A and B are shown apart, each in its own frame.
Chain A
Amino acid sequence: MHLPFRHSIARKNLMALTGGFLSFFLLIHLAGNLQLLLPEARAREQFNLYAQLLSGNILIKAISYGLYLSILLHALYALLLALSSRKARGGQAYVYDHRRQASPWYARSMGLLGSILLVFLAVHMKDFWYVYKFTAIPLDEHGQKDLYTVVATAYQEAWYVLLYVVAMIALGFHLLHGVKSALFSLGLYHPRYRLWAKRASTAYAIAMTAGFCLIPIYLYFTQNPA
């Protein structure tokens, strides 16, 4: 197939750049969504204002197209690379295989973790982005679309919160291997900073997972008092 980035290392660079951009987006996304943890009245006003501010901004619009493109390229080239790996492995599998002892499971399961994230992303976009952009939802007292209520209502359901927690754990393991490996793929790696890079990406993965899990869990328990 003659797609651009024919070379395997060039493809890994593309995976690293798109993945890196998406990882950076997560940080901003989490920072904005932490507003949902404010007291209810304050959170409603501030979060709805924030949502309106973002959807009206031309710069944010441009970045969002960059995000969609990154997701598509990241998934497409992951698929191409996985197919080439399968071909490289050859027809005959090992009869007796203990190779799993030599590497962590999540490093070998990036495709599975990524697929979980892709399915999650479709659900996530349909329930919030699509609803906010393309359906008529009630307005809050300041006349802004009340996205806060849409989000809070969704997280009243235990199964929906569980779906988010599972997806965010998948995200955590994907980031745990992905962020460190992105630096590696780009060659931005030096033995002197090896430990630092590993610690920073581990801390990042834990922070993203904890932050994104906290929001649905907090909203579930504040709306379903024991």
Chain B
Amino acid sequence: MKITLYIWRQDNAQAKGNMEKHALNGLNPDMSFLEMLDVLNEQIITAGGDPVEFDHDCREGICGQCGLFINGRAHGPLAATTTCQLHLRHFKDGDTIYVEPFRAAAFPVVKDLRIDRSAFDRIIQAGGYVSARTGDAPEANALPVPHRTAEQAFDAAACIGCGACVATCKNASAALFTAAKVSHLAMLPQGQPEREHRAQAMSAQMDEEGFGHCTQTGACEVECPQEISIAHIARMNYEFNRGAILKP
């Protein structure tokens, strides 16, 4: 199949970028979106050009490394799908596709489609941990967690940190990402020792990194490849207020 690509090219964080047009022929509809970019890069390298840089790792939809803004939507048009799990069969022969990086002030472009998401790491460092004694794993039955609670905590823990929530949010808010971690740990017994500080510390870091506030438009849960619910943001707000009152 034949695809026309408009791809964002930018030399570094300071440079001004622009969209660059490329025509690709003879593509297999079963190729993933990233495989198409591999073909594009071979074509560019053969012609003596500078290949397009983009983030990717596992290509199985579980690592959270890949993330592209495809035809104006985070991770493209499909629901609950990462960029690497999007295949060309979801496009038509002869389509024009626009590819841009996830944009936010807190996610500076490193080069082309590659962005720096280390702001997420610093939010996790601020409070996304538990006080655990190292050594042997404890006896599982010593920590009773009801099945329903475990499932709810796992729904939040499913966040892969791709940044689609920030990319699509009109305020570039990292509330869904931060809330997923706060909510996950607030529900489990292991998360209790830091509970009164966690939401405060992580959301303070979220502000510090220059992410916006949450206006509950719900766009993030629509674009999230792991379908994490914005109900977790409400729980983060609850944890924030609970911490403000109960902080020792």
Contact = CB atoms under 8 A, between A and B. Distances in A.
Highest count of chain A CB atoms <10 Å: which of B73, B100, B216, B238 = B216
B20 to A, nearest CB: 11
B126 to A, nearest CB: 13
B72, B215, B237 interface centre (most CB from chain A within 10 Å): B215
Nearest to A82: B171
Given A95-B8, A97-B72, A102-B73, A88 B106 contact: yes
Given A89-B170, A90-B105, A102-B223, A189 B215 contact: no
Contacts of B19: 95
Contact of B217 (A88, A94, A108, A189): A108
A85 B241 CA distance: 22
B240 A102 contact: no
Interface range, B side: 35 or more
Interface in B4-45: 6, 8, 17, 19
Contact of A92 (B74, B103, B199): B103
Contacts of A183: 234
B216 A88 contact: no
A96 B101 CA distance: 11
A104 B215 CA distance: 12
A153 to B, nearest CB: 40
B17 A92 contact: yes
Nearest to A185: B237
Centre residue among B105, B199, B204 by max chain A CB count within 10 A: B105
Given A12-B237, A98-B71, A187-B235, A87 B216 contact: no
Contact of A88 (B171, B219, B231): B171
Contact of B172 (A89, A104, A185): A89
A90 B69 CA distance: 15
Contacts of B230: 184
Interface in B94-139: 98, 100, 103-107
B211 to A, nearest CB: 6
Contacts, number: 146
Interface string B146-159: 00000000000000
Contact of A187 (B73, B170, B241): B241
Nearest to A111: B215
A90 B172 contact: yes
Interface in B229-248: 230-231, 233-242, 244
A188 B105 CA distance: 31
Q: Is the interface of A mostly helix, strand, loop or mixed?
A: helix
A187 B103 contact: no
User: By DSSP majority rule, is chain B's interface helix, strand, loop, or mixed?
Assistant: mixed
Interface stretch (A3-11, A18-26, A58-66): A3-11
A150 interface: no
Given A94-B72, A184-B233, A85 B171 contact: yes
B218 A107 contact: yes
B51 interface: no
B218 to A, nearest CB: 5
A170 to B, nearest CB: 17
A99 B70 CA distance: 11
Contacts of A107: 215-218
B207 interface: yes
Contacts of A12: 213-214, 237
Contacts of A67: none
A89 B104 contact: yes
A93 B219 CA distance: 17
Interface string B72-107: 111000000000000000000000001010011111
Given A96-B72, A97-B72, A99-B72, A85 B212 contact: yes
A57 interface: no
20 contacts: A7-B200, A7-B203, A9-B237, A81-B213, A87-B210, A88-B211, A89-B103, A89-B104, A89-B105, A90-B103, A98-B73, A99-B170, A103-B222, A104-B218, A107-B215, A108-B170, A180-B216, A187-B234, A188-B234, A189-B235
Interface of B: 6, 8, 17, 19, 69, 71-74, 98, 100, 103-107, 168, 170-173, 199-200, 203-204, 206-207, 210-219, 222-223, 230-231, 233-242, 244
